[in-house]
């Protein structure tokens, strides 16, 4: 009986049925494997990957009716009541299940669910959605010492909420976080002219005008090589953002000889009542949450008094008036000497000392001496060639230094270009300066020996005076 039962069962397992059974098995297995792959990815909408600069709870609901009371929590100028930056969305865990351990994840889900619907009612639409991805800077922090600055900044924020043109212009004039930061695109100057043209007021006090003031802040950022647990150090990204520090500088450098290359320049448009110290304190307060032990960043800011400017008429200082008067006097003397210089009327020996001094400013005579091709009496001709070559390379070196001040979007390419061997002819510009000093000493000694041979004495006072004037 057992043998007959097994024979009857084997009769049903034909080759066609065996192939069909294996086909169905592989299809169901493939579906399950595909499902596992999908669950291991991010299941939240793509919009959440960009994050939200302002928490959802401050953008919806009560903000539309109580914006005046919550202004300082929205802007970057005041972060003391809480962090206004959402964390990065949490990915799924190893089992394919989204993490639900934090309140921020639920908040992000609700916010994304609201903004990704096909139809959103006006009551649920964030009242400052156009500023969500670009924070508003206004010195309303408690660190600001000037009361008018805080009050004007609050007026600016209130009018910005209502989309007033002057408030939008002030907001638009400040620098924003750009793309290409890792290619050296860190210097953002904002809009200088638009900031100075801003003029506005609050409707309740139309006589109290608020003018735009442009301030250029200097920011130094450094990163420690030690990162927090589970994160990589930001030392390399910061190094790339500073264009590999072709010229290592600090915000405290004068910048007269070498430019502040690795220092970030950031343009800000603030009310005219704010002092540079107010802007610096508010900016430091706004950035303090980024310079923590978790990020490993150290951020230091500085806003100098001569880096803030508003479109207000100022009186010229005494030194400026004296300098302008001297330049005007030299131009007038040069014009008079050029008009008197006819080239044939008066011989050199018949001129007095005053007239000789006046004719030394003649443009016609100066040009003829500069463009003269024939060598003069006692000239050392090889020195002219050395001077010409050094002048060309020194000029190119100064142009390269001025180019380092430009806010290029791909400034890291400038640093890479400077690593070529041929660039050593320009980067060693100090050698050409030393060459001019050497040539000056050679010519001075040569002329003094000729004067000693001709007059048997040296007019030291005249030589020191000539050297001082030069």
Categorize the per-residue pLDDT at 458 as very low, low, confident or very high, splitting at 50, 70 and 90. confident
Average of per-residue pLDDT across 30-34:
44
Is residue 37 classed exposed, middle or buried when 0-12, 13-18 and 19+ CB atoms within 10 A define those classes? exposed
Residue 288: its H or E element = none
Contact between 251 and 219 (Cβ < 8 Å): yes
Q: How many domains does the chain have?
A: 4
Instruction: Give CA–CA dist 136/71, Å, rounded.
Output: 11
Q: Give me the mean pLDDT over the 225-243 stretch.
A: 84
Q: Are strands 205-223 and 264-271 parallel, antiparallel or unpaired?
A: antiparallel
Per-residue pLDDT tens digits for 197-224: 999 988 888 788 999 999 999 999 998 8
**Cβ neighbourhood burial of 182 (10 Å; 0-12, 13-18, 19+):** middle
Contact 325, 301 (CB under 8 A): no
Same-domain check for residues 153 and 233: yes
Q: What is the mean pLDDT of residues 75-90?
A: 38
Residue with the two structure tokens 């400026």: 320
In a domain, 127, yes or no: no
Q: Which residues contact 324 (CB under 8 A, 6 or more apart)?
A: 316
Report for 79-83, 104-108, 155-159, 384-388: range of highest mean pLDDT: 155-159
Higher-pLDDT residue of 377 and 311 is: 311
At 258 the pLDDT is 78
Alpha-helix residue ranges (DSSP H) falling in 298-428: 318-340, 353-359, 363-370, 381-403, 411-417, 424-427
Q: Residues 219, 178, 129, 270: what is their CA dihedral angle, to the nearest 10 degrees?
A: 40
Distance of alpha carbon 124 from alpha carbon 132, whole angstroms: 15
DSSP states of 17-86 as a string? HHHHHHHHHHHHHHHHHHHHHHHTS--S-GGGGG--SS-HHHHSGGGGTSTTTSHHHHSTT--TTS--SP
pLDDT at 229: 72
More confident residue, 38 or 392: 392
Confidence of residue 373 (pLDDT cuts 50, 70, 90): confident
Residue 164 pLDDT: 93
Domain finish residue from 291, 312, 333: 312
Instruction: From 372, 398, 413, give the residue that closes a domain.
Output: 372
The predicted model scores a pTM of: 0.64
> Domain containing 27: what range?
2-39
Residue at 222 is within a domain:
yes
Do 333 and 388 belong together in one domain? no
252 in the same domain as 324: no
With beta carbons less than 8 A apart as the criterion, state whether 332 and 363 touch. no
- Asked if the structure places residue 306 within a domain, the reply is yes
Whether 111 is in a domain gets the answer no
Cα 199 to Cα 33: distance, rounded to the nearest angstrom: 63
CA distance 10 to 127: 73
Same domain assignment for residues 166 and 225: yes
State which of 326, 352, 372 marks the end of a domain: 372
Instruction: Work out the percent of the chain whose per-residue pLDDT is above 70.
Output: 70
Determine how many CB atoms are found less than 10 A away from the CB of residue 175. 21
Look up residue 309 and give its DSSP letter: E
Residues whose CB is less than 8 angstroms from the CB of residue 174 and which lie 6 or more positions away in sequence, other chains included: 137, 190, 195, 267, 268, 269
- The residue-averaged pLDDT of 380-395 equals 87
Residue in this structure with the two tokens 């040539």, named with its chain if needed: 439
- Alpha-carbon gap, residue 223 to 225, rounded angstroms: 7
| Per-residue pLDDT tens over the stretch 436-457 | 899 888 888 888 888 888 888 8
Q: In the predicted model, what is the mean pLDDT of the chain?
A: 75
Provide the pLDDT for residue 211. 94
Yes or no: say if 231 and 137 are a contact pair by the CB < 8 Å rule. Answer: no
Q: Is there a single domain that holds both residue 319 and residue 308?
A: no
Q: For residue 13, what pLDDT band results from cuts at 50, 70 and 90?
A: low
pLDDT in tens, 279-325: 999 999 988 888 877 788 889 999 998 999 998 777 888 999 999 99
Q: Among candidates 377, 303, 379, 363, which has minimal Cα distance to 330? A: 363
Indicate whether 39 pLDDT > 50. Answer: no
Asked if residue 323 and residue 298 are part of one domain, the reply reads no
Around 12, how many Cα atoms within 13 Å sit in the side-chain half-sphere? 5
Q: Determine the Cα–Cα distance for residues 172 and 174; give it in Å rounded to an integer.
A: 6
Same domain, 304 and 215: yes
Does residue 421 belong to any structural domain of this protein?
A: yes
Rounded mean pLDDT, 238-253: 86
Mean pLDDT on 85-100: 40
| Judgement on whether residues 301 and 352 belong to the same structural domain of the protein | no
Q: Residue 215's beta-bridge partner residues?
A: 268, 308
CA distance 364 to 338: 6
DSSP 421: G
Contacts of 114 (CB under 8 A, 6+ apart): 56, 60, 120, 124
* Number of other CB atoms surrounding residue 88 within 10 Å: 11
Residue 284 confidence (pLDDT): 92
- CB-CB contact of 279 with 149 (8 Å): no
Q: What is the pLDDT of residue 74?
A: 41
pLDDT the model gives residue 165: 95
pLDDT at 98 over 50: no
Q: Are residues 358 and 388 in the same domain?
A: no
Over range 452-464, report the average pLDDT: 85
Residue 347 lies in a domain: yes
Instruction: Tell whether 175 and 319 lie within a shared domain.
Output: no
Same domain, 459 and 401: yes
Cα 419 to Cα 219: distance, rounded to the nearest angstrom:
26
Asked if 272 and 323 sit in the same domain, the reply is no
Is residue 238 domain-resident? yes
The per-residue pLDDT for range 123-164, each reduced to its tens digit, is: 444 444 677 778 899 999 888 999 999 999 999 999 999 999
Examine residue 118 and state whether it is found in any structural domain, yes or no.
Answer: no
The predicted structure's pLDDT at residue 169: 95
Q: What is the mean pLDDT of residues 226-241?
A: 84
Measured distance between the N- and C-terminal CA atoms of the chain, rounded to whole angstroms? 127
What local confidence, expressed as pLDDT, does residue 152 receive? 94
């Amino acid at each position: 009986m057992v043998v007959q039962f097994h024979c009857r069962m084997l009769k049903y397992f034909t080759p066609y049925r065996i192939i069909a059974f294996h086909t169905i098995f592989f299809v169901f297995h493939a579906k399950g494997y595909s499902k596992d792959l999908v669950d291991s990815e991010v299941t939240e909408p793509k919009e959440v990957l960009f994050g939200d600069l302002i928490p959802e709870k401050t953008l919806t609901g009560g903000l539309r009716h109580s914006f005046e009371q919550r202004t300082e929590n929205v802007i970057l100028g005041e972060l003391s009541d809480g962090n206004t930056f959402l964390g990065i969305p949490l990915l799924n865990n190893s089992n394919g299940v989204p993490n639900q351990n934090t309140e921020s994840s639920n908040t992000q889900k609700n916010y994304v669910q609201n903004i990704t619907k096909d139809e959103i009612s006006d009551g649920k639409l964030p009242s400052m959605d156009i500023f969500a991805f670009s924070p508003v800077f206004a010195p309303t922090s408690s660190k600001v010492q000037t009361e008018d600055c805080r009050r004007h900044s609050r007026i600016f924020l209130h009018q910005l909420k209502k989309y007033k043109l002057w408030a939008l212009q002030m907001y638009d004039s400040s620098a924003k976080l750009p793309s290409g930061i890792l290619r050296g695109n860190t210097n953002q100057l904002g809009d200088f002219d638009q900031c100075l043209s801003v003029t506005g007021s609050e409707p309740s006090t139309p006589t109290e005008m608020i003018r735009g003031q442009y301030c250029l802040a200097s920011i130094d950022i450094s990163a420690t090589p030690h990162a927090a647990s589970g994160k990589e150090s930001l030392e390399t990204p910061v190094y790339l953002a500073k264009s590999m520090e072709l010229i290592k500088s600090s915000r405290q450098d004068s910048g007269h000889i070498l430019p502040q290359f690795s220092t970030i320049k950031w343009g800000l448009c603030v009310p005219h009542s704010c002092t540079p110290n107010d802007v610096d304190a508010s900016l430091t307060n706004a950035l303090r949450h980024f310079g923590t032990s978790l990020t490993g960043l150290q951020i230091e800011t500085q806003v100098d008094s001569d880096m803030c400017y508003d479109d207000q008429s100022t009186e010229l200082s005494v030194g400026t008036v004296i300098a302008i008067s001297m330049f005007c006097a030299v131009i007038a003397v040069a014009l008079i000497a050029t008009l008197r210089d006819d080239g044939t009327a008066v011989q050199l020996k018949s001129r007095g000392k005053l007239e000789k001094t006046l004719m030394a400013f003649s443009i016609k005579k100066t040009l003829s001496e500069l463009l003269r091709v024939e060598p003069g009496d006692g000239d050392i001709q090889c020195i002219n060639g050395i001077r010409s070559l050094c002048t060309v390379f020194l000029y190119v070196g100064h142009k390269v230094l001025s180019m380092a001040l430009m806010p290029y979007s791909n400034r890291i390419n400038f640093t890479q270009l400077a690593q070529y061997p041929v660039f050593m002819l320009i980067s060693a510009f100090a050698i050409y300066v030393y060459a001019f000093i050497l040539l000056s000493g050679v010519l001075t000694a040569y002329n003094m020996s000729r004067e000693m041979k001709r007059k048997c004495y040296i007019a030291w006072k005249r030589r020191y005076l000539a050297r001082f004037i030069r």
